[in-house]
């Protein structure tokens, strides 16, 4: 009995498989012959869709590949029609609106961008075609629903700032708004501005301060503590590449105040140098410190109050607004009033020829302690722009070409003191105190500390100083 039942089940399954194969063959070869069979199998589906009779694919949607459930009744032909991709073949059994609706629908499929409005998205905001936005130092334009961005190397790199701050390097980095949007090249080109030292400067004989060899040098020294009111604070060169002028004028002003014992304490005008020291200089496009000191000796400078900085320091040309003549003793006297009409004193201040201080750490300290601040020429790395506080040392750089921008990296600053503190990894570290020319919002109120005694960033390689020309004839 059980064997007969098994044979019956096997025969039934064999019959069903054969009939299904025949059905597939009939729809593929002769859709009319397949009509009755298909109608029986899909009766439930057809009945559910009778409410849509005569409306075809536009109501039911389109189906991919072969889908026998993707069917409706075609009354005019007394037949069934299909909206699946299989219907569109040599013997078509597609519904009347298959090509007009389904093929058109494919053109507007979700895989195309036509569902979205024209333009581009950025941070959840929609921008029209052709719109341009700025991302740090790069410009991005919406073109063909895609952003096309320039690939400049930016001065500010948040990842590098984060790297410095997460490490124990002894100093803190900061993202300064005045540097945001500048390329790295623009930073070197516009925020520094001292030409590499000439062979004449590098060949100068080093001088040492005339102090006894056994003179004690304190562990901590700040020039403004010894000479209060005579040491001038940092100015802001902005995007005028003229650290050659700012540092020279500031060192000269300090030394004239010290040498005159406080008689002349005016800060000297870097703009006077930028606009009037015409030979071998390019104003806000870099200049040489040896020429700056020559001008101070031969022509002299007026005060910063008399000849203030121009608001537009990057104007194509600013003619020199001062003139002077020499008396029989070589002393210069102004022949024009101050460009700043409010200031009445147009006194000319001059210096002696510059001299080079020994690169020895102790000799630099003795020179500052006895005669006042000195000028230092350093090489700037990109992480220096981020300095906020602490004892600076070069940590990291993104630039893959170390030699790139080599001629643009030279910067002139003013050394005003030194000290010793615990720095990186809790170690006791020696440092210089230096005045920069990037305004008081940068660094430690315009100043920075940098490792001392190891020639960090070439800070001790070339130290320049000069005497102020102060005689009895200068008495008021």
Q: Are 310 and 320 in contact (CB under 8 A)?
A: no
Asked whether residue 449 is domain-assigned, the answer is: yes
DSSP reduced 3-state for 102: helix
Whether residue 226 is found in the same domain as residue 364: yes
Average pLDDT taken over every residue of the chain: 82
Task: Return d(Cα 302, Cα 264) in angstroms, integer.
Answer: 12
- Among 38-42, 229-233, 377-381, 436-440, the least confident range: 38-42
Whether residue 133 is found in the same domain as residue 191: no
Whether residue 262 is found in the same domain as residue 324: yes
Asked whether residue 118 is domain-assigned, the answer is: no
Among the listed residues 73, 68, 74, 106, the one whose alpha carbon sits nearest the alpha carbon of residue 87: 68
Whether residue 175 is found in the same domain as residue 77: no
Whether residue 172 is found in the same domain as residue 48: no
Whether residue 167 is found in the same domain as residue 144: no
Asked whether residue 115 is domain-assigned, the answer is: no
Asked whether residue 111 is domain-assigned, the answer is: no
Q: State the Rg of the chain over Cα.
A: 41
Whether residue 211 is found in the same domain as residue 324: yes
**pLDDT tier, 296 (very low <50, low <70, confident <90, very high otherwise):** very high
Helix (H) or strand (E) holding 186: helix 184-190
Q: Which of 6-15, 59-68, 231-240 has the highest mean pLDDT?
A: 231-240
User: Could you please report the per-residue DSSP string of 322-359?
Assistant: --EEE-TTS-EEESS--SSTT------B-BPPPEEEPS
Domain containing 76: what range?
24-100
Active site residue 55: no
Whether residue 141 is found in the same domain as residue 280: no
- Among 53-62, 162-171, 226-235, the least confident range: 53-62
pLDDT at 226 over 80: yes
Average pLDDT over residues 286-314: 90
Whether residue 79 is found in the same domain as residue 166: no
Model confidence over 422-460: pLDDT tens digits? 777 778 899 999 999 999 999 999 999 999 999 999 999
Whether residue 89 is found in the same domain as residue 165: no
Last residue of a domain, one of 152, 187, 217: 152
Asked whether residue 18 is domain-assigned, the answer is: no
Asked whether residue 337 is domain-assigned, the answer is: yes
User: Could you please report the per-residue DSSP string of 444-461?
Assistant: BTTEEEEE-SS-GGGTTT
Active site residue 411: yes
Instruction: Compute the C-alpha angle 209/213/219, nearest 5°.
Output: 80
Cβ neighbors of 92 (< 8 A, separation 6 or more) are none
**pLDDT tier, 38 (very low <50, low <70, confident <90, very high otherwise):** very low
Catalytic residue among 138, 317, 411, 455: 411
Whether residue 131 is found in the same domain as residue 242: no
pLDDT at 5 over 70: no
Whether residue 237 is found in the same domain as residue 360: yes
CA torsion, points 436, 441, 447, 450, in degrees to nearest 10? Answer: -90
Total domains in the chain come to: 3
* pLDDT value at residue 59: 72
**pLDDT tier, 116 (very low <50, low <70, confident <90, very high otherwise):** low
Burial degree of 254 (CB within 10 A; 0-12, 13-18, 19+): buried
Asked whether residue 289 is domain-assigned, the answer is: yes
Average pLDDT over residues 294-302: 94
On whether the pTM is more than 0.85, the answer is no
Among the listed residues 377, 448, 366, the one whose alpha carbon sits nearest the alpha carbon of residue 409: 377
Q: Are 86 and 92 in contact (CB under 8 A)?
A: no
Catalytic residue among 111, 436, 445, 455: 436
Task: Return d(Cα 474, Cα 476) in angstroms, integer.
Answer: 6
Q: Please tell me which residue, 204 or 192, carries the higher pLDDT value.
A: 192
């Amino acid at each position: 009995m059980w064997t007969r039942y098994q044979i019956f089940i096997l025969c039934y399954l064999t019959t069903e498989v054969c009939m299904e194969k025949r059905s597939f063959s009939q729809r593929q070869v002769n859709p009319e012959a397949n009509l009755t069979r298909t109608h029986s199998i899909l009766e439930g589906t057809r009945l559910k869709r009778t409410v849509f009779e005569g409306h075809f694919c536009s109501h039911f949607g389109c189906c991919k590949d072969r889908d026998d459930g993707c069917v409706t009744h075609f009354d005019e032909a007394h037949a069934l029609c299909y909206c699946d991709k299989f219907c569109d073949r040599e013997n078509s059994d597609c519904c009347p609106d298959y090509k007009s609706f389904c093929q058109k629908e494919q053109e507007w499929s979700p895989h195309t961008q036509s569902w979205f409005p024209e333009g581009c998205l950025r941070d959840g905001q929609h921008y029209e075609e052709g719109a341009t936005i700025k991302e740090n130092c790069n410009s991005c334009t919406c073109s063909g629903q895609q952003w096309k961005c320039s690939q400049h190397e930016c001065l500010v790199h948040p990842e590098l700032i984060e790297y410095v701050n997460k490490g124990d390097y002894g100093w803190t980095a900061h993202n300064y708004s005045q540097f945001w949007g500048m390329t790295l090249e623009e930073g070197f080109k516009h925020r520094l501005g001292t030409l590499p030292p000439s062979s004449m400067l590098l060949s100068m004989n080093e001088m040492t301060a005339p102090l006894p060899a056994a003179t004690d040098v304190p562990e901590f020294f700040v020039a403004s503590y010894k000479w209060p009111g005579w040491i001038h604070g940092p100015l802001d060169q902005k995007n005028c590449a003229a650290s050659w002028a700012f540092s020279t004028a500031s060192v000269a002003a300090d030394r004239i105040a010290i040498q005159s014992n406080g008689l002349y304490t005016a800060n000297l005008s870097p703009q006077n140098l930028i606009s009037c020291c015409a030979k071998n200089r390019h104003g806000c496009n870099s200049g040489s410190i040896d020429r700056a000191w020559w001008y101070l000796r031969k022509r002299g400078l007026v005060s910063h109050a008399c000849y203030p900085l121009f608001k537009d320091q990057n104007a194509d040309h600013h003619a020199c607004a001062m003139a002077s003549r020499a008396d029989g003793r070589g002393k210069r006297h102004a022949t024009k009033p101050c460009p700043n009409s409010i200031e009445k004193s147009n006194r000319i201040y001059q210096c002696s020829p510059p001299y080079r201080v020994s690169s020895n750490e102790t000799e630099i300290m003795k020179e500052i302690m006895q005669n006042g601040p000195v000028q230092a020429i350093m090489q700037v790395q990109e992480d220096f722009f981020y300095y906020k506080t602490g004892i600076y040392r070069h940590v990291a750089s993104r630039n893959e070409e170390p030699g790139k921008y080599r001629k643009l990296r030279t910067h002139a600053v003013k050394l005003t003191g030194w000290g010793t503190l615990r720095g990186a990894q809790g170690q006791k570290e020696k440092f210089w105190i230096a005045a920069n020319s990037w305004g008081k919002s940068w660094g430690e109120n315009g100043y920075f500390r940098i490792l001392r005694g190891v020639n960090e960033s070439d800070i001790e390689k070339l130290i320049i100083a000069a005497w102020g020309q102060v005689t009895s004839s200068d008495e008021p």
